[in-house]
A and B are shown apart, each in its own frame.
Chain A
Amino acid sequence: MDIRVPSRFLVLLGLLAAPPALAALGEAEPSVARDAQALSMDRQPPSVRAGLAVHELRSATATVREYLAPDGTVVAVAWSGAAPPDLGLLLGAYAGEYRAAAAAPRAGRGPRHVETGRLVVDTWGHARALHGRAYLPSRLPAGVNLDDLR
């Protein structure tokens, strides 16, 4: 859950093998392969969607997409499947503020829109098809259509 503690260890690993960072929201130089392993998902070839490079991970029951700005920063992540992924991993340094904001009481049940000031998280769907996305509005390149971020 806490991805800051092992980061020093990962930096060390990275020096030996791969780019030394986490594929989490707001992070640069993502190690998508490391995320795929942590989530037990298969990595797909990178593509372009919404004008951003997208790295897609798949399992039998879920898909995760990580959107990279031209500078290599993960500026959005989206997920869909039977179960929500470990958002502590995907949201990285933003996970805590999402959890705090999402814990605010609400009346009723429906899709959720959570804003923290620098992060937006949307969740929607139903059993076997749960969807969500998180993005950093101030770090999205101009011209990105938010409807494409999913």
Chain B
Amino acid sequence: MTSADARRLAPLLLSLAACGGGSSAPPAGQAGPPPNVLPVSVDGAGCSAGSYLNKPCVSVTVCEPRTSTCQTIGDLLLDTGSVGLRVFSQVLTLHLPPVSSGGGSLAECVGYLDGSAHWGPVVLASVALGSEPAVEIPVQVIDATYASPPAACQAAEASPAAAGFNGILGVGTFEQDCGPGCTVTSNGMYYACGAASCAPAAVALASQLQNPVAALPVDNNGLVIRLPGVAAAGASAVEGEVLLGIGTRSNNVPPGSAVALPLDASGEFRTTLGGATVTAFLDTGSNGLFFAAPPGAGLAACAAPDAAWYCPASTVTVDTSSSGATGGPAAAVPVQVGNFLALTAPASVNVCGLVAGPVGPASSFDWGLPFHLGRDVYLGLEGRRSSLGAGPLVAW
């Protein structure tokens, strides 16, 4: 290791230690939490020190397939806006076998809503969520230096420090990260890398990054995000949990009052605000609510460099109504938006439910982490059924 490498790794090792690396699940049969519980920490002990506002962190145990060589990785972003487990190479100590494609190895360039991207090889890993049995699935090692990245990944994030986390646990409503669109070549995501270069590759569904929840032997029809509410003034941290499965155990049964919203092929429902209806999605990986302010709502963006957030003079309530992609029952949600700068001024505030910001055109509503505070949110996976109906769906 060069001294430059050592400097690069030092903060990572610290963050791993801070995130409870090395802990293990209680042995089977021992009294403990039910096996379908995955603790979630929003800016608490499960996150690295200095984590950004409203960042939900989880920890998973990853093993080399069919061995007892394992590693518990913390400070993973819990992300219902993507699918699949992705871990930065700097954090991994395991040797995970590559997934082959044609004569080479499979690699992926995945983009995100903020214009960032991750690049790196697809490998096979044994992944354990909570105390559930481990599942063997393709995952991504995030490595900006791997082989020769395509144009869209030339500026891919290079380190946990740059990203703000050790990796991403994507548990959205899809079974794979890309799906049928990537079973043809030139899909913009998957590449086969040989000794010299990488070329666009068609990838069978089974070789794509898999939703770890869908791969479980039981509790595999969906999940519940359960985070406590916080006061209007915010909190320094909150601890909650993901419950795997919907209606599969006594701890994940939806109440009769839950309204289920079926999703379209893009995983979206509809939200109406200010008389306009836009496409909408749930995303714990977005650290605010993001929507175009209805005319006359009194929501102006903060001054630069915080123009990604709203700074109303006083807290504003925006009435919204959400329904499934093809209509059906509607769920009303009054959205409260406070002044971002005032709310986040105290250094002790890392979790806040009243932060929101604008989005490019008035065409979408990103229900980010604040929406999930103080409410059980159900995600029914595509192709799976529960008492809430046939997935993909969301409910609360």
Contacts and interface: CB of A to CB of B under 8 A. Distances in A.
Contacts of B77: 109
Given A126-B172, A146-B361, A147-B362, A88 B151 contact: yes
Interface in B251-291: 266-268, 281, 283, 285-288, 290
A132 B188 CA distance: 15
B379 interface: no
Nearest to B50: A107
Interface in A93-150: 99, 102-103, 106-114, 121-133, 146-150
B290 A129 contact: no
A54 interface: no
Interface size class of B (residues with CB under 8 A): 35 or more
Interface in B141-168: 150-152, 154-155, 164
B178 interface: yes
A107 B178 contact: no
A86 B363 contact: no
A69 interface: no
B357 A110 contact: yes
A21 interface: no
Given A128-B179, A132-B115, A110 B287 contact: yes
Contacts of A81: 188
Interface stretch (B66-74, B105-113, B124-132): B105-113
B396 interface: no
A107 B308 CA distance: 10
Contacts of B368: 110
Given A60-B184, A111-B366, A84 B117 contact: yes
A103 to B, nearest CB: 7
Contacts of B5: none
Nearest to A130: B111
A107 B53 contact: yes
B287 A109 contact: yes
Contacts of A149: 361
B283 A126 contact: yes
A47 interface: no
B360 A131 contact: yes
A89 interface: yes
B152 A128 contact: no
Contacts of A125: 113, 364
Contacts of A106: 114, 308
Given A84-B117, A127-B82, A109 B112 contact: yes
B181 interface: yes
B208 to A, nearest CB: 11
A58 to B, nearest CB: 12
B361 A1 contact: no
A83 interface: yes
Contacts of B109: 83
Contacts of B55: 108
Interface string A55-81: 000011110000000000000000001
A87 interface: yes
Contacts of A146: 361
Contacts of B200: 40
Contacts of B174: 127-128
B307 interface: yes
Contacts of B293: none
Given A124-B290, A131-B364, A107 B52 contact: yes
A128 B217 CA distance: 26
B341 interface: no
B52 A133 contact: no
Contacts of A82: 178-179, 181-182, 187-189
B364 A124 contact: yes
Interface in A26-62: 40, 59-62
Contact of A147 (B155, B179, B181, B363): B363
17 contacts: A62-B188, A82-B181, A83-B189, A84-B115, A88-B154, A108-B52, A111-B366, A112-B113, A112-B308, A122-B361, A123-B115, A124-B290, A126-B281, A129-B281, A130-B111, A132-B115, A146-B361
Interface of B: 52-55, 77, 81-83, 109-115, 117, 150-152, 154-155, 164, 170, 172, 174, 177-179, 181-182, 184, 186-189, 200, 266-268, 281, 283, 285-288, 290, 292, 307-308, 357-364, 366, 368
Interface of A: 1, 40, 59-62, 81-89, 99, 102-103, 106-114, 121-133, 146-150
Shortest beta-carbon contacts, A-B, top 6 = A122-B360, A83-B188, A61-B181, A40-B186, A126-B81, A86-B151
